[in-house]
Structure 1
Amino acid sequence: MSHSPDLAAVLDECRRFPGLFQTLHLATCQPDGQPEASYAAYVEHQGCYYVYTSELSAHTANLAASGRCSVLFIESEDQARHLFARRRLTLQCAATACPRGSAEFDLILDRFVEQFGAFMAMLRKLGDFHLYRLQPLSGAYVAGFAQAYTLQGVGLSEIRHRSEQGHRSPDRSTALALDAAAQG
């Protein structure tokens, strides 16, 4: 029996998933290749994620140097049906600095203040903070066992079920059984 997921429904779920979070996990790389894991509060606008980061944070220098990063949204451990199958969205992004005083900067910082309040209004005044636009270029969404998808295309509008790749099981039934066990 073949099971084909409703890709439109999965894409819709994937697009709503980041809205469950106020922060994102951020992976950057130092110029010498050393990886750096961090997190930042974010605002979404027109399919991009914006972070406002301090020069005191290693990821700020890494974003400036490389212009790229990876972003992770992941279901909390206490919310997950199974620890080994936490829902997650990973995005490969281009990172672009938004100049202070530009229309984009002002619009997004207004959104940060709306979302995060008076504390953000104070941070806005600090000159060592920089606004970065993280534009997703490709991604992967995992909704559970045997439910892995790749995202690509304009606005990540193309979704593909990664059914051709498996966990080296003789058949797909093992992955489906894992998913059923995780739900039960």
Structure 2
Amino acid sequence: MTTSDNNLNTVIEECHHFPRLFQSLHLATCNADGEPEASYAAYVENDGDYFIYVSELSAHTANLAATGTCSVLFIESEEDARHLFARRRLTLQCNVAEYARDSEEFENMMTQFVQKFGPFMNTLRSMNDFHLYRLRPWRGAYVSGFAKAYTLSGEKLNQISHRNDQGHRSTEKIESPA
């Protein structure tokens, strides 16, 4: 294994740990007219999938049901970032599936929601306008700083490659020394 492979293994471990720093995720969906809509949701992670429990009163719930896809963003806070233009972030393209209320999976995930977010989840659990969705990532991108951008793919996003083949381009002319 090369040093480069070791570095990429370290990055993929960091990338998979990064979402654990958050209790909610940013959610991007599109409505029936193709208009993008941004929102957020509290989540529980289970075996590389992200589960959200969301109300029909939210636009993103209808969008998830209609399209079966979304994009998820985890991003470092502005206060914690070393530089505003290089905030650590993980973007995931996900397939979406709803779990029926009478399923074993629903019961298991709701138990995890109660464990993570407390007894208030029992109140939400009783509201029939809420739905449990599994967001399964199939592709991703992780940025950990300037010139540290990576593409994630494969099962459980276990394959990583560095996106540095083109580098940054400048519009400024650079004079070469004579």
Q: Which runs of 4+ in 1 moved over 4 A?
A: none
The 1-side partners of 2:117 and 2:67 are apart by: 28
More moved, 99-108 vs 140-149: 99-108
The 2-side partners of 1:147 and 1:8 are apart by: 14
* Aligned-partner residue type, residue 87 of structure 2: R
**Matching of residues 29-68 of structure 1 within 5 Å:** 29-68=30-69
CA-to-partner distance for each residue in 1:40-81, whole Å, 9 max, x for gaps? 000000110000000000000000000000000000000000
Q: CA deviation at 1:165?
A: 2.7
Alignment partner, residue 151 of structure 1: 152
Alignment partner, residue 176 of structure 2: none
* Aligned-partner residue type, residue 36 of structure 1: E
* Aligned-partner residue type, residue 83 of structure 1: L
Alignment partner, residue 80 of structure 1: 81
Q: CA deviation at 1:168?
A: 1.2
CA-to-partner distance for each residue in 1:77-116, whole Å, 9 max, x for gaps? 0000000000000000001001111111100010000100
The 2-side partners of 1:131 and 1:4 are apart by: 40
Q: CA deviation at 1:163?
A: 1.1
TM-score (norm 1): 0.89
Alignment partner, residue 176 of structure 1: none
Alignment partner, residue 133 of structure 1: 134
CA-to-partner distance for each residue in 1:111-167, whole Å, 9 max, x for gaps? 000100111111000000000000000000000000000000011000000010321
The 1-side partners of 2:168 and 2:131 are apart by: 42
1:102 equivalent to 2:123? Answer: no
Secondary structure, in 3 states, of the residue corresponding to 2:144? Answer: strand
Stretches of structure 2 lacking an aligned partner (at least 5 in a row): 172-178
Alignment partner, residue 178 of structure 1: none
The 2-side partners of 1:140 and 1:165 are apart by: 16
TM-score (norm 2): 0.92
* Aligned-partner residue type, residue 55 of structure 2: S
Stretches of structure 1 lacking an aligned partner (at least 5 in a row): 171-184
Alignment partner, residue 173 of structure 1: none
More moved, 112-121 vs 139-148: 112-121
Report sequence identity in percent.
64
Q: CA deviation at 1:8?
A: 0.2
Q: CA deviation at 1:4?
A: 4.6
> How many pairs are equivalent?
168
The 2-side partners of 1:84 and 1:163 are apart by: 17
Secondary structure, in 3 states, of the residue corresponding to 1:10? Answer: helix
